[in-house]
Amino acid sequence: MNRIVLFAFGTSFLLVGLVGLFLAVGYFQDSKFHAETSEWLKAEPEEIWAYITDVNDLPNRRKEVVAIKILETRADGIIQKWEETPDMGGYMIFELRESIPNKLWKIELTDASFKMRGSWTYSLERKIPGTVVTITEDSEITSVPVRGAYFLAGRDATLQKEMELIRNRFSGR
């Protein structure tokens, strides 16, 4: 019986320690983050533009997005505001902040159940034959546990994954 109690106590102590370490890592991470990544792709800006601005297709190309709900559409038919439902539950509300066709698309995460906010700017620059794609992320995570999780996953994981998706879509040309 004493071994069982000692084992239970030891396991509990270890788990509490790991959770404490995880929270400490999140606590000491900067809440604000800025990074950018660029890549030359052998595709026209118009093709890349059509891909990155197709909000309705997000669940088909990003496995973590299970649903999209359009909240606002401009008079010209461009989606202004939408809600993403991630595979882990919750919600993320994005708004279009700036749009220059085939050149610049800036979206902002205005509300999320994960206590995150931020903006992602996609810049397209024609470099014949092809396009230089630059994605810039400016984000903030106020939740200590979420900062801890992003530290473990890599704070730039979302940015790198987005560039990977674009690269994979237009590679092999």
Model confidence pLDDT, tens digit, residues 138-151:
988 877 777 777 77
Which CATH number is 91's domain given?
A: 3.30.530.20
* 18 in any annotated domain: no
Q: What does the pLDDT read at residue 49?
A: 97
- Check residue 1 and report its DSSP letter: -
Above pLDDT 90, what percent of the chain? 61
Could you give the C-alpha distances from 116 to 29, 56, 57, 104, 111, in angstroms and in order?
A: 14, 22, 23, 23, 7
- Cβ partners under 8 Å of residue 3, min gap 6: none
Query: Is position 61 within any domain?
Result: yes
In a domain, 94, yes or no: yes
Tell me whether strands 32-41 and 65-73 are parallel, antiparallel or unpaired.
unpaired
Euclidean distance between the first and final Cα of the chain, in Å?
Answer: 67
- Is 120 among the domain residues? yes
Is residue 5 very low, low, confident or very high in pLDDT (cuts 50, 70, 90)? confident
Cα–Cα distance measured from residue 116 to residue 112, given in angstroms and rounded to the nearest whole number: 6
Tell me how many domains the chain contains.
1
Check the CA dihedral 105-91-164-58 and report its sign: negative
Whether the predicted pLDDT of 18 surpasses 80: no
The answer to whether position 19 is within a domain reads no
**pTM, to two decimals:** 0.82
- Does a structural domain hold residue 7? no
Which residue range(s) make up the domain with 54?
31-170
| Least confident stretch, 16-25, 35-44, 77-86, 142-151 | 16-25
pLDDT at 173 over 60: no
pLDDT digits (tens, 9 = 90+) for 62-79: 999 999 999 999 999 999
Burial degree of 76 (CB within 10 A; 0-12, 13-18, 19+): exposed
- With respect to residue 9, please indicate whether it lies within any of the assigned structural domains: no
